[in-house]
């Protein structure tokens, strides 16, 4: 092994170890940190983040990359590492440091202004900050570079290789089919009964329920743990340590269960990334969208399926005896209610993508200067009416609900939708290749699906870009038809259409 390659790898391991410490501090901050510890912790996190950033943009790393990019004797894995690390390096370096610092300060102010504006449902007070964030993002897009659409340069950070043009193509059939289908369901379908799910469900019991589900789907508790938090997340601190957090609502046993299964899907992905990729720049999901495809698949396609409830209804009845009177079919129906609603994070799997389409159309217009930030509330409400048939009573339940734009995160939203679409496409392929997949679910055996995902997705980490990975796994380009079929079939049956 040449000197440069080993120095390069050593440099990445240093970044990796610092990142691991940072993850642990973040995890602790959001789960166990006592109230009075927060201000000192914020300083430590700030310091560590700065050290990591400096190592990630150092001239030293630039020299290694430059030399390694020229070499033709690297292994496939090393080449992938150089490609992925080099791409991020160039993005970081593209923005002049002064401009980035100015942006970081403006972003902190913007996020604070957004919190206040949302609490007071006062869009006008947030508008000047939002305008600044749009302006910075447009300038960044110019620095990053793009061939067709400045928005492409922003998506790149979350979904390498995805473009606005391709997104439009993916979205078109969804838009045509989904909105009318939802209307059809709500107007003519029979809404499932949910009365029997009401009650009080102590958090400790819910934790046991989540634990049983996570164990069943293959989450390795000797390489992770389950804690509670306000906004659930999954965090990886390093080899053999992938932690899940969840949230339990005392009047709803399913919210916590599905939050655990969602995070469990992310965690299964991270637990499946081989040790050889640790600290090489490749030890993460291929993209936000691919990561989300794993969480959505375990949460919805597995956890909200009838076979899952054939297996799990005796378990929930053991933990909460009130469910003993309900059949697996009844529980299955109750956890699959469709309701056009105002808030994205509370949306069911059928209406969710419409929330994303609306955001995509607005932010793409903002970045291209076709839409002015001041017109957002009106455009938002019009789109809600058109797509979902509901109109927010105020901006707190409309345009102000998400944190992303306040932090200048334009181009992130499509990943959520792609996660749903990729999940459906992968799941269809898995079912085709494993004919008894769902019969096995009904017996509580989820290992065939997990092995399939390990083989097709997890073991590659970031070696492939998302679209290539999906093509390798399914033999096809991203195709929203799989999601449409899945949803139409499942919900037509549930709603008796």
Residues serving a catalytic function are: 263
Closer residue to Zn ion (CB): 273 or 366: 273
Binding test (CB under 5 A) with Zn ion, winner from 295, 305, 406, 415: 295
**Closest CB 416 distance from Zn ion, rounded Å:** 8
**Closest CB 173 distance from Zn ion, rounded Å:** 24
For residue 293, state whether it binds Zn ion (rule: CB under 5 A).
no
For residue 266, state whether it binds Zn ion (rule: CB under 5 A).
yes
Please, are residues 263 and 247 in contact by the beta-carbon 8 Å criterion?
no
For residue 26, state whether it binds Zn ion (rule: CB under 5 A).
no
Place of tokens 């310091």: 47
Closer residue to Zn ion (CB): 57 or 409: 409
Closer residue to Zn ion (CB): 28 or 436: 28
Determine the interface stretch with Zn ion among 162-170, 172-180, 191-199, 262-270 (rule: CB under 5 A).
262-270
**Closest CB 291 distance from Zn ion, rounded Å:** 4
For residue 56, state whether it binds Zn ion (rule: CB under 5 A).
no
Measured distance CA(402)–CA(154) in Å, rounded? 18
Q: Which two tokens stand for residue 329?
A: 């079919």
Determine the interface stretch with Zn ion among 115-123, 144-152, 261-269, 313-321 (rule: CB under 5 A).
261-269
Place of tokens 């709603």: 495
For residue 454, state whether it binds Zn ion (rule: CB under 5 A).
no
Hey, what's the torsion of the CAs at 225, 228, 231, 234, to 10 degrees? 0
For residue 260, state whether it binds Zn ion (rule: CB under 5 A).
no
**Closest CB 206 distance from Zn ion, rounded Å:** 20
**Closest CB 234 distance from Zn ion, rounded Å:** 5
Fill in the per-residue mask, 65 to 104: x = in contact with Zn ion (CB under 5 A), - = not in contact.
----------------------------------------
Backbone dihedral angles phi then psi of residue 282, each to the nearest 5 degrees: -110, 5
Determine the interface stretch with Zn ion among 198-206, 244-252, 285-293, 431-439 (rule: CB under 5 A).
285-293
**Closest CB 285 distance from Zn ion, rounded Å:** 6
Closer residue to Zn ion (CB): 263 or 330: 263
What are the residues whose beta carbons fall under 8 Å from the beta carbon of 238, sequence distance 6 or more?
A: 16, 17, 20, 23, 278
Give residue 254's Cα distance to chain centre: 20
Determine the interface stretch with Zn ion among 73-81, 258-266, 341-349, 428-436 (rule: CB under 5 A).
258-266
> Can you spell out the DSSP letters for 242-284?
EEEEE--BTTBHHHHHHHHHHHHHHHHHHHTS-GGGTTTT-SS
Radius of gyration for the alpha carbons in the chain, expressed in angstroms and rounded: 23
CB neighbours (10 Å) of residue 325?
9
Buried b (16+ CB within 10 A) or exposed e, 463-484: bbbbbebbeebbeeebbbbbbb
Angle at 326 between CA 182 and CA 214, to 5 degrees: 80
Closer residue to Zn ion (CB): 16 or 365: 16
SS3 at position 348: coil
Measured distance CA(331)–CA(495) in Å, rounded? 14
How many of the chain's residues bind Zn ion (CB under 5 A)?
3
Please, are residues 88 and 287 in contact by the beta-carbon 8 Å criterion?
no
Closer residue to Zn ion (CB): 291 or 310: 291
For residue 259, state whether it binds Zn ion (rule: CB under 5 A).
no
For residue 291, state whether it binds Zn ion (rule: CB under 5 A).
yes
Determine the interface stretch with Zn ion among 31-39, 224-232, 289-297, 437-445 (rule: CB under 5 A).
289-297
Using CB under 5 A as the criterion, which residues of the chain lie in contact with Zn ion when the complex forms? Answer: 266, 291, 295
């Amino acid at each position: 092994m040449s000197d440069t390659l080993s120095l390069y790898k050593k440099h990445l391991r240093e970044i990796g170890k610092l990142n691991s410490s940072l993850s642990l501090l973040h995890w602790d901050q959001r789960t166990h940190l006592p109230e009075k510890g927060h201000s000192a912790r914020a300083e430590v996190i700030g310091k560590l983040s700065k050290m990591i950033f400096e190592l990630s943009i150092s001239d030293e790393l630039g020299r290694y990359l430059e030399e390694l990019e020229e070499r033709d004797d690297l292994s496939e894995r090393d080449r992938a590492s150089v490609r992925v690390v080099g791409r991020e390096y160039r993005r970081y370096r593209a923005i002049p440091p002064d401009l980035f610092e100015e942006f970081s300060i403006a972003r902190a102010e913007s996020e604070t202004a957004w919190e206040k504006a949302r609490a007071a449902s006062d869009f006008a007070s947030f508008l000047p900050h939002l305008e600044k964030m749009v302006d910075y993002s447009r300038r960044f897009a110019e620095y990053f570079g793009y061939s067709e659409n400045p928005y492409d340069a922003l998506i790149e950070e979350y979904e390498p290789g995805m473009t606005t043009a391709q997104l439009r193509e993916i979205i078109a059939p969804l838009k045509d089919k989904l909105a009318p289908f939802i209307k059809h369901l709500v107007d003519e379908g029979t809404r499932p009964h949910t009365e029997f799910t009401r009650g009080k469900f102590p958090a400790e019991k819910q934790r046991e329920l989540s634990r049983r589900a996570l164990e069943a789907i293959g989450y390795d508790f000797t390489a992770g743990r389950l804690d509670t938090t306000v906004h659930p997340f999954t965090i990886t601190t390093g080899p053999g340590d992938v932690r899940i957090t969840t949230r339990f609502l005392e009047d709803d046993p399913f919210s916590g269960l599905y939050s655990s299964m969602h995070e469990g899907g992310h965690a299964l992905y991270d637990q499946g990334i081989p040790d050889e990729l640790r600290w090489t720049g490749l030890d993460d999901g291929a993209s936000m969208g691919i990561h989300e495809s794993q969480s959505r698949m375990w949460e919805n396609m597995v956890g909200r399926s009838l076979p899952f409830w054939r297996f799990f209804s005796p378990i929930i009845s053991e933990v909460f005896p009130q469910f003993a009177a309900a059949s697996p079919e009844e529980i299955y129906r109750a956890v699959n209610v469709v309701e056009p609603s105002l808030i994205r994070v509370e949306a069911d799997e059928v209406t969710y993508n419409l929330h994303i389409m609306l955001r995509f159309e607005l932010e793409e217009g903002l970045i291209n200067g076709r839409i002015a930030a001041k017109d957002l509330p009106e455009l938002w409400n019009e789109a809600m009416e058109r797509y979902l048939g509901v109109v927010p009573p105020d901006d707190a339940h409309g345009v102000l609900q998400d944190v992303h734009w306040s932090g200048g995160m334009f181009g992130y939203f499509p990943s959520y939708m792609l996660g749903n679409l990729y999940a459906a496409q992968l799941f269809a392929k898995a079912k085709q290749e494993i004919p008894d997949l769902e019969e096995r679910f009904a017996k509580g055996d989820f290992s065939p699906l997990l092995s399939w995902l390990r083989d097709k997705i997890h073991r590659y980490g970031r070696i492939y870009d998302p679209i290539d990975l999906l093509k390798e796994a399914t033999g096809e380009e991203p195709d929203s038809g799989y999601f449409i079929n899945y949803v139409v079939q499942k919900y037509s049956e549930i709603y008796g259409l």
